[in-house]
Structure 1
Amino acid sequence: MLWLACSLPLIACSFFLSGCSVYSFSGTNIDPEVKTISISTFQNNSSNGPSFLAQRFTEDFKDYFQRNTTLKLVPRDGDLQFEGAITAYDYAPAAIQNQNGIDQAGVNRLTIQVRVKYANTKDPKQDFEQTFQSNGDFPADQDITRINNDPTATRRITQNIITDTFNKSVANW
């Protein structure tokens, strides 16, 4: 009798996971007909982003999707297609503090925006075009040149954008 009580949660769990769509423990919800993905190079249309940003963002985007799905990356015409552009790269004071009667930035914030166009050739109802944004705060004494030279600084911000795009496109969140 005890074995029945212990196995009921497992039976219920398997019942809920066996729906019409495909669920994986990486959080994706991809139709089994979808086999390939194509990701065009994201252009850097921001006025002041570093020159390497577009290439690094595109490669990180590809890596994330390859690590978290079983889709085959193809140069073009994938079942799922991504393209877009980095539209903003802004570094500005975020917290003004008054020290000895002088207003100074206590923290500077780097904000990055990326416009993403997503096409699902198997289910066009899931297509979207949306701007994703993320930011990170840095000490006021760190200038933008120092942040641009630190590969982890912008990656933390762009990783949030990539995760949000992943969730909206293949995790259906």
Structure 2
Amino acid sequence: MDWIKKVARVTMYFVLPVIVLACSVSYKFNGSSINYDKVKTISIADFPIKSDYVYAPLATRFNEDLKDIFIRQTRLKLVKPSQNADLQIEGEITGYNQYNQAVAADGYSSETKLTITVNVRFVNNTNHAEDFDNQQFSAFRTYTSTQLLTAVQDGLIAEMTKEITDQIFNATVANW
């Protein structure tokens, strides 16, 4: 009976840890499917505003958010656009518009829709089959027309740029 306990103890202390360590499961919580053996660098050019209506802080916020998502969620090294990176992203902000969304009983606008549209060009120098040119990404938010755009636009821009940068991230490196 003692020899059974010794065998069980040896199994528990030596064999079980080897089995557990030999079995591994890999999870990617960010959704990216980058082959880091081939893809090591990314360049993201600043997106200028080319829309009719220009709100200068939008470009700064969008450009920083786009770079930030790739830095936080990948192991890619961000390099200058002048360098020949494995992945290259460039484009422009083509739309920053507001529209009357709903009309109240008194005939005045009750809701306003704010929309941001971005045009993106993507080059994957390790697999050109994944390239795309002039793909549009957009997001919108509505706010009550009793509020001034100047009072709500910074908060709305933060939400919309996060949504658009997520869309760009998914279209370029998530491959789902």
Q: 2:162 aligns with which of 152, 159, 162?
A: 159
Matched, 1:90 2:94: no
Counterpart of 2:158, as a letter, is: R
Query: For residue 110 of structure 1, what is the amino acid of its counterpart?
Result: L
Contact 2:61/2:161 (<8 A) preserved: no
Does 2:157 align with 1:145? no
Give the Cα separation in 2 of the matches to 1:137 and 1:93.
9
Corresponding residue for residue 126 of structure 1 = 130
Cα-to-partner distance string for 1:12-53 (whole Å, 9 max, x where unaligned): x94xx6xxxxx7221100122100110000010011130121
- TM-score for both structures, normalised by structure 2: 0.80
Alignment map for 1:35-54 (pairs within 5 Å)? 35-54=40-59
Please list the CA deviations of residues 93-140 of structure 1 after superposition, one character each: whole Å capped at 9, or x if unmatched: 112221xxx212221110010001111000010011201010001111
Match of residue 114, structure 1, among 111, 118, 125: 118
Identity level (%): 37
Give the ranges of 4+ consecutive aligned residues of structure 1 lying more than 4 Å apart after TM superposition.
Answer: none
Asked whether 1:59 is paired with 2:64, we answer yes
State the secondary structure of the residue aligned to 1:106: strand
Are residues 1:25 and 2:29 paired? yes
- The separation in 2 between residues aligned to 1:111 and 1:37, in whole angstroms, is 28
CA contact (8 A) 2:87 2:125 kept: yes
Which of the residues 36, 39, 42 maps onto 1:34?
39
What's the CA shift for 1:143?
2.1
Unaligned runs of 5+ in 1: 1-10, 18-22
1:36-79 alpha-carbon deviations (Å, 9 max, x no partner) = 11000001001113012112211110011111111010012211
Instruction: Answer with 1 or 2: which has the greater Rg.
Output: 2
Secondary structure of residue in 2 paired with 1:44: coil
Query: One-letter code of the match for 1:31?
Result: N
> Root-mean-square deviation (CA), in Å?
1.8
Query: 79, 82, 85: which one pairs with 1:78?
Result: 85
Q: Which runs of 5+ in 2 are unaligned?
A: 1-22
What TM-score does the superposition give when structure 1 sets the normalisation length? 0.81
Structure 2 letter corresponding to 1:55: T
Code of the residue aligned with 2:90 in structure 1: it is E
Number of positions where the alignment pairs a residue of Structure 1 with one of Structure 2? 151
